[in-house]
Chain A
Amino acid sequence: MSNELRQDAPIDVAPVGAPIDEGSRLQAFYYAVQECVRSALGSIRSHRMRSFLTMLGVIIGVASVICIVSLLQGLTRSVMNEFQGIGGNTLIIHSETPREDRMIGKWARIRPADLELVKYRIAGISNVAPRTGLNLPGGVRNGSNTSTAQVVATTSWFQLSNQSYPRIGRFITDSDDDSRRRVVVLGEKARSDLKLPENPIGTFIQVGTEWFKVVGVMESRGELFGQNLDDFVVIPFQTGWALAGPWREPDMAITVTVDDLDAIKDVTSRITALLRRAHKIGPKDSDDFKIESSQTITQTIERVSDTITLVISAVVGISLLVGGVGIMNIMLVSVTERTREIGIAKALGAPRSYILMQFLIEAMVLAVIGGIIGIGLGWLLGVVAAKLIPHFPPPAVPWWAIVGATGFSALVGMLFGILPARRAANLAPIDALRHE
């Protein structure tokens, strides 16, 4: 095509002043944005080092947010998985002393009588398991080997509501409980701390002042928050209750499984009414117990984790603003450097809005590239940190963190690009052209 257009007259350029096909406004805007992004990338590419240093503030800011959020989310996820073991239809009843009672030194208790009431007077529930943690003098011992294991007294239903079962041997049975047998089921950590063999069944160990026969070892459950989940021993509930009796009035929690998931609300209110009557609580006084479902527990964890995430993100987000100042600084330098270029663009007919957009987009592209690098770096940091901290769960980068970080970077770029872009757009064409 170039050949026919070359020398000879009726050139493509004539007739003079003839309009060239122009697109719609929307199309024009799209092409302008496209061109601005292209020119921004070109300008960033031609100043690689400077652009990188400019982005550094944003990179560091975003990387810290992503790193912390990913660790926190990973942690929350692993805690949630832990709780998934407890079915959604499990209720936990435990004592909770109202504030006014606590001030006069009155402590609420759940007592065996409450257990009987719940067991026999509430319909539609099963696996009613009491559980109490005992703090016995002497702890858990095997000869000279001691263990810091928590002593849990419960019934056979515990393994169902807690979704954990023995690795070898058996769990506590109802007959163990009824006859207050001195048998013990060990957690894996307790077993190794007591220097017992892999299969310690039949061995006798001391729990508090009494001798107990080992009848089973539970499956290992690993660690959570650096806390070992296998550091416990289980004894029959009645046995434990009798052992604890002389020292102080023990407290307990009751786990129940609701047969029909839809009845959870109904069952909860019936238990509440029953226990309020049993505890002789006046109509205006608050409960001295609390009924939680595993759902409310996971919701609480989620809420706490979200709050922490939000607070930390906000704090670290401030560092992004510092990154924004860096971008503004370089953009101001860039406007001065490119004054001639701006003058040429204006002479060729670039409207104010185009120049404004060009520099805004350049600031945003800088910030967004910084943000994307930051996301990658933050994710990497999270993975490394999780590996370095012992027993830390693998990090998880949620999609909203990626979208949020990118969006916030773009916002920072836009905010801090406004001043330089306005300066560029407001240059008078002849002054800008004359600029050396």
Chain B
Amino acid sequence: MIELRGIGKTYQMGSTELVALAEVNLDIARNEYVALVGPSGSGKSTMMNVLGCLDLPTTGTYTLDGEPVAGLSEDQLARVRNRKIGFIFQSYYLMPRTTITDNVAQPLIYRGIAPGVRRERANAALARVGLEERTLHKPNELSGGQRQRVAIARALVGRPDVLLADEPTGNLDSKTAREIMGLFGDLHRDGMTIIIVTHDSAVAAHCRRVVRLHDGRIVEDQPQ
């Protein structure tokens, strides 16, 4: 479902050229559960941005669900992000002033879905992550683990093709982290394609396939 061919990404830092990704080839099929690991500076984050259509690669082709991504306009990329990708961030990135339900429903606004339907879908997604009772709370009234569940619900609400998580347990204690990883396991069993970017081997251990990056290249790609 995901096809990266000869993906390269270079940043211009003054006069020097910084190579973040070089000649990356990667295929990820539907319902895979992949960990993208590597030390900091290995190109993980750039990889995540490219996979998530937040950034376009400098070279190479990226096909998502049979659709080439390179060459899309900013708004077309936004549409792809909205429909095909569910993001989960290390710091949750919830809207502080709005309720949990509204946070989860946010991606549906951009699809022109009626408020009532949005709320219904959001509450269903919240129920899926076990938070159906706190829908009217604000994010700052929740614990870190609960906030990450909200973020996962938000990622799920639009029925994406792939969940893209960036250090989803980075801000959580180990017990809560295990719970969140358990939730990812459940979602994988239900048929979701999941890619987790992490430097934590304990997190990677939950995944079915580990792709190791170093200096912008894939150095290891193994099922486990």
Contact = CB atoms under 8 A, between A and B. Distances in A.
B81 to A, nearest CB: 5
Nearest to A36: B109
Given A2-B123, A15-B191, A16-B192, A348 B159 contact: no
B97 A46 contact: yes
B193 A352 contact: no
Interface string B122-144: 01111110101000000000000
Given A23-B112, A349-B78, A13 B128 contact: yes
Contacts of B114: 23, 27, 31
B97 A6 contact: no
B191 A349 contact: no
B113 A20 contact: yes
Contact of B159 (A6, A13, A46): A13
Contacts of A343: 93
A354 B111 CA distance: 11
B61 interface: no
B191 A20 contact: no
A346 interface: yes
A346 B124 contact: no
Contacts of B208: none
A429 B112 contact: no
Contacts of A347: 52, 54, 81, 87, 93
Interface residues of B, number: 54
A338 to B, nearest CB: 10
A18 interface: yes
B95 interface: yes
Contact of B55 (A23, A29, A430): A430
B106 interface: yes
B161 A349 contact: no
A16 B193 contact: yes
30 contacts: A2-B132, A11-B128, A12-B124, A12-B125, A13-B187, A15-B191, A16-B159, A16-B161, A16-B191, A16-B193, A17-B84, A18-B159, A21-B113, A22-B112, A27-B112, A28-B111, A31-B112, A31-B114, A32-B109, A42-B98, A340-B93, A343-B93, A347-B52, A347-B54, A347-B93, A348-B82, A348-B106, A350-B109, A352-B74, A430-B54
Interface of A: 1-3, 5-6, 9-25, 27-29, 31-32, 34-35, 39, 42-43, 46, 340-341, 343-354, 429-430, 433
